[in-house]
Amino acid sequence: MAQETKSSGSTTIFGIIIGIALMCGGAYLHSIHAFQSIEGPLESAGVPLQIGTTISVAGVFLILFPVINAFFISPLMTAINDRNRELENTFSEAEGLRKEMADMKAAYEKRIGDTEAEAREKIQAQLKEAQELRTQLMSDAAAAKEHLISQAQEEITREKDKIMTELRVEVANLALGATEKLIGVNVTNDTNKKLVQEFIEKAEVPSK
Amino acid sequence: MDNRVATRYAQSLFDVASQQNIVSAISDDLNAITTALNADPRFKTFLENPSMNREGKLKLMESVFSDRVTALTMQLFRLLLDKRRESLIGLVAEDFDRLRRAASNILFAQVVSAQPLTESEQKAIVSKLETSSKQKVEATFDTEESLLGGVKVHLGNSVMDGTVRGSLNRLRDKLLYDILKQA
């Protein structure tokens, strides 16, 4: 960098020297009309070119160039460079962000994929569980149904037996009632005496 | 409560009657009195009425029974009237008879028949019971038409049922037993 500055300084000085030489040389050449043979035809052709003055102006330019360079070109170059760097940085940041976004997108997609897989697994597990629960519930319901049917059948059988028993008892009572009435009508004095006689013959006092 | 009091009166009466050897006479007296009381409800109501004068009751009892019953029986009347226990006379008579029978080893039989028994039938039943139990038997005879026919005897804790009603009941029990056994 220091070497570059030193080189730049020597170039500037060399330029100034050249500029002075050109300015002086040009002014001298103009004063002696050294280029009259060229300038005359050009002027008559409509091109008013003064070569000596032009050389002097070029020399002045070379002398003023460091100043122009110092006050205009260098800041402009710096600004352009800064701008370029800024743009580069922006592009770099943008690239980084893009990459980061791509990474994030990839991670997000992976996460979505994982989530979807996990959700699928969970759904499958829930479906399986629901299926098992359904099977269990169906089995329980079937068992309960069987139990209820069995209970109902037992109850029906019990009720049937009970009604049959009641019916038989009722029939027996009716038969006995009818028998009693028949006997009541048919027991005569003689029959009663016979029964008393029979009792007297057969009666035995139970042993203590 | 009344039973326990009656038993105590009966026991005392029986003890005294036994000492005087008039148990049988006292028993006859008590039976005659209870028969009279049961035969005439007005007489029983009068005797058991607490608002009636005690002297009046005693006079009536003496006028009716004094020449028919023993002095000991009349003494019992007086005592019961004094203690206002005249309503116990029936229970005392029953307990006295029970004590008399127990002392003499006599069995008591209640004979119930569908139709009134003739005297010979009654004797035959008592004789059969005495033969069968090898003990003397005293019996009362009642009729109950619902028995339909035949005789039933309550002897001590035993019942001998020779009635149509009993047969029907046994048949009913057998049928019910068979029906319930099938069920």
Tell me the CATH number at B90.
Answer: 1.10.520.20
Domain residues for the domain of B25 are 2-102
How many Å apart are CA A53 and CA B97, to the nearest integer?
189
Mean pLDDT calculated for residue range A51-58: 91
Residues B118 and B94 in one domain: no
A199: which chain B residues are within 8 Å (Cβ-Cβ)? 125, 150-151, 160, 162
- Residue in A187, A200, A204 nearest the CB of B164: A187
Residues B14 and B94 in one domain: yes
Contact in structure between B117 and B151 (CB atoms under 8 Å): yes
Mean pLDDT calculated for residue range B33-49: 84
Question: Residue A170: which of B179, B73, B100, B15 has the closest Cα?
Answer: B179
Poorest-confidence range of A16-25, A28-37, A71-80, B59-68? B59-68
Residues B140 and B75 in one domain: no
- Residue in A173, A183, A189 nearest the CB of B148: A183
Residues B16 and B80 in one domain: yes
Tell me how many domains chain B contains.
Answer: 2
Task: Check residue B92 and give its pLDDT.
Answer: 92
Mean pLDDT calculated for residue range A148-159: 94
Residues B131 and B73 in one domain: no
Average pLDDT across chain A, whole number = 88
Q: Is A184 on the interface with B (CB under 8 A)?
A: yes
Residues B147 and B81 in one domain: no
Residues B43 and B96 in one domain: yes
Residues B12 and B60 in one domain: yes
Instruction: Read off the pLDDT band of A3 (50, 70, 90).
Output: low
Are the beta carbons of A165 and B180 separated by less than 8 Å?
yes
Residues B120 and B163 in one domain: yes
Instruction: Read off the pLDDT band of A77 (50, 70, 90).
Output: very high
Please report the ipTM that was assigned to this predicted complex. 0.73
Question: Residue B160: which of A203, A109, A163, A27 has the closest Cα?
Answer: A203
Q: What is the pLDDT of residues B106-129, one digit of tens each?
A: 999 999 999 999 999 999 999 999
Poorest-confidence range of A65-69, A154-158, B2-6? B2-6
Contact in structure between A205 and B108 (CB atoms under 8 Å): no
Average pLDDT across chain B, whole number = 88
Which strands sit side by side in the sheet containing B106-113, from one edge to the other? B136-143, B106-113, B151-155, B158-161
How many Å apart are CA B30 and CA B28, to the nearest integer?
6
Residues B90 and B112 in one domain: no
Q: Of B68, B102, B136, which residue sits at a domain end?
A: B102
Residues B133 and B78 in one domain: no
Mutation target to probe the A interface, by most A beta carbons within 10 A, among B121, B130, B132, B179 is: B179
Token pair for residue A52? 């000596």
Residues B83 and B117 in one domain: no
Mutation target to probe the A interface, by most A beta carbons within 10 A, among B176, B177, B178, B180 is: B176
Strands B151-155 and B158-161: antiparallel
A172: which chain B residues are within 8 Å (Cβ-Cβ)? 172, 175-176, 179
Are the beta carbons of B183 and A205 separated by less than 8 Å?
no
